[in-house]
Chain A
Amino acid sequence: MPVTLVTVRRNRGPGRRPAYPRAIVDAVTENLAIEVRGLRKAYRDTVAIDGLDLAVVRGEVFALLGPNGAGKTTTVEILEGFRRADAGEVTVLGADPRWQSAGWRARIGIVLQSTGEFEELTVAEVVRHFSRYYPDADDPEAVIAKVGLADKRSTRAQRLSGGQKRRLDVALGIIGRPELLFLDEPTTGFDPEARRDFWDLLRELATAGTTILLTTHYLDEAEALADRVGVIAHGRLVAVAAPAELGDRRTALATVRWHDPDDPDGPRSERTATPTAAVAALAARFGGEVPGLTVTRPTLEDVYLSMIGKGAA
């Protein structure tokens, strides 16, 4: 199990606002990029979304976290205007997504789950073409460079690797300089290095003020990128908080573990609200270094698993 002693908030860079406390979320509606109330959606025999409420503040990075089939994609695709809700109020950038006006479309960017349909066209051709759809498009070459495809600009899409195709998807998502960017499981299938690069790209966009709604089932991704995380399970949002605070992680009992090689009972652990005192006591007992010492708080994964388990009850 990974050790999480301290959760380091990412460097937000200049011009970036701090994380949003709950009070701001409840504040004026104009400040919301996305507002959802009582969303419901059923397919023939299953209820996909069952009374979901969601508010995403302008400028924040919000991660929707949940297992497969929890309703992430359905929710996002309703927000994107691809699917119709059965009930509930949905406002995205001040409009009902069902309207799908071209003006509204120009203000949002979408990176869908599917990818790789351009085949014979080159990166530059595709990006340049999509830039013509938008009234205030970014410079295609600049966007290609931004997503790290500059040396692939003349490569046909079908010869790109999975991660490069995804970068092309993102290039098409941001070419119109969107105020709000949707990313549906953007890094599925990435190798670790590609994911890091990708995260840097998203951080850059967030720093520039783009509101980002991201779905993922990678907890480290949510933790690394999101200002707030919403855990979705069985069609409901079961928790919303900053990643470090989700499920009261910050104040949860810490577990102190140590392993005295001479102890016949093997490794020991102690759950405590005062881990510093516990470690000091151990240090005194061992007269210095405590063998095999770790101090952990519940990881996001621990919290998350207990939450989606709770949702099932």
Chain B
Amino acid sequence: MSTLTDRPAAGTTTRRGVRALRIGLDRGVLELRQFARTREYVVFTLLFPVIVVVIFGAVFGGTVVGGVTLTQYFVTGMIASGLLATSFQNLAIQIPIERGRGVLKRLLGTPMPRTAYFIGKIVMVLVVSVLETAVLLVIAVGFYHLALPHTAARWFTFGWVSLLGITACTLAGIAYSSVARTGRGAPATVTPVALVLQFTSGVFFVYTSIPSWMQTVAALFPLKWMCQGLRSVFLPDSFAHREVAHSWELGRVALVLGAWCVGGLLVCLLTFRWTDRQER
């Protein structure tokens, strides 16, 4: 089995780290270039969440719960969903496709530091996440009366919840990429997971309105905590008592997302495959 780690080569650990980072950033640029040149991909990635927001806004727009319109509640969920899509869904689908087409094998055959591949993916995920979130925010602020965070503390929360959420979902996506046996099968293994999470984590439905067993299941996964963390950023503090624990539970948000980062990293290190299973 291939591992993520490099065997010792010439140079010190630091120098090798710098080299991996440099090549990784270069890979990130390449990945972004490829993303930007696939027009349908850009359009769908950036516009799909917007379309969903528009549809939901049109259907449930007027409903007010605890001084918050459903659309406002929903937009925060869609921001979290967007992060899930650019990190988890994107990687869990893209990596098996690249594996199937031999991209990974070709890279494995070069002295490229193995970590550079993942750094490249992370760079791409971060940039696309920022873009997508920005587009959603512009729409939400412009048309659905969502207020941007008005304190530095809220911006800070926005930052760390997003970053931790992206990290957790990126690692989960890389880990999950080993599940799909072929590139063609990847969307089928990934999309249902994302959809079920969206229905149960407080994106399409208000979290407190779904059955408690469903809440319990959803609470095991990162999306629920990302949504909750983002609600604390965009919704008034008075809404906190409508949460299950009558608080934003930011400590627990950090804890769960952090646990997913650690767990995801471990699974990646143990199971990542550079080549098709039947090939070895």
Residues of B within 8 A of A132 (CB): 22-23, 26
- Residue in A83, A100, A135, A156 whose CB lies within 8 Å of B280: A83
CB <8 Å contact, B8 and A101: yes
Interface string of A87-131 (1 = CB under 8 A from B): 000000000000111110110101010111101110001000110
Count of chain B residues near A, Cβ 8 A: 30
When C-beta atoms are compared, the residue in chain B nearest to A84 turns out to be B280
Residues of A within 8 A of B27 (CB): 129
CB <8 Å contact, A105 and B110: yes
Residues of B within 8 A of A133 (CB): 23, 110-112
Residues of A within 8 A of B23 (CB): 132-133
Q: Measured between alpha carbons, how far is A116 from B110 in the docked complex, in Å?
A: 17
Residues of B within 8 A of A115 (CB): 102
Q: Measured between alpha carbons, how far is A176 from B38 in the docked complex, in Å?
A: 29
Tell me if B184 is interfacial: C-beta within 8 Å of chain A.
no
Q: Measured between alpha carbons, how far is A34 from B39 in the docked complex, in Å?
A: 46
Residues of A within 8 A of B110 (CB): 105, 110, 130, 133-134, 176
Tell me if B10 is interfacial: C-beta within 8 Å of chain A.
yes
Residues of A within 8 A of B103 (CB): 117
Interface string of B157-198 (1 = CB under 8 A from A): 000000000000000000000000000000000000000000
CB neighbors of A among B1-45 (8 A): 6-10, 22-23, 26-27, 30, 33-34, 37-38
Residues of A within 8 A of B33 (CB): 120-121, 125
Q: Measured between alpha carbons, how far is A172 from B106 in the docked complex, in Å?
A: 9
Tell me if A286 is interfacial: C-beta within 8 Å of chain B.
no
Tell me if A82 is interfacial: C-beta within 8 Å of chain B.
yes
Tell me if B109 is interfacial: C-beta within 8 Å of chain A.
yes
- Residue in B7, B38, B105, B280 whose CB lies within 8 Å of A102: B7
Tell me if A223 is interfacial: C-beta within 8 Å of chain B.
no
Residues of A within 8 A of B37 (CB): 120-121, 156
Q: Measured between alpha carbons, how far is A105 from B280 in the docked complex, in Å?
A: 19
**Sample of 20 more A-B contacts, CB < 8 Å, known A82-B279, A102-B111, A125-B30:** A81-B109, A82-B109, A84-B280, A101-B6, A101-B9, A103-B9, A110-B109, A112-B102, A112-B105, A114-B105, A116-B101, A120-B33, A120-B34, A120-B38, A121-B34, A134-B110, A134-B111, A135-B10, A135-B111, A156-B37
B binding-site residues for A, Cβ under 8 Å = 6-10, 22-23, 26-27, 30, 33-34, 37-38, 98, 101-103, 105-106, 108-113, 275, 278-280
A binding-site residues for B, Cβ under 8 Å = 43, 77, 80-84, 99-103, 105-106, 108, 110, 112, 114-117, 119-121, 125, 129-130, 132-135, 156, 172, 176
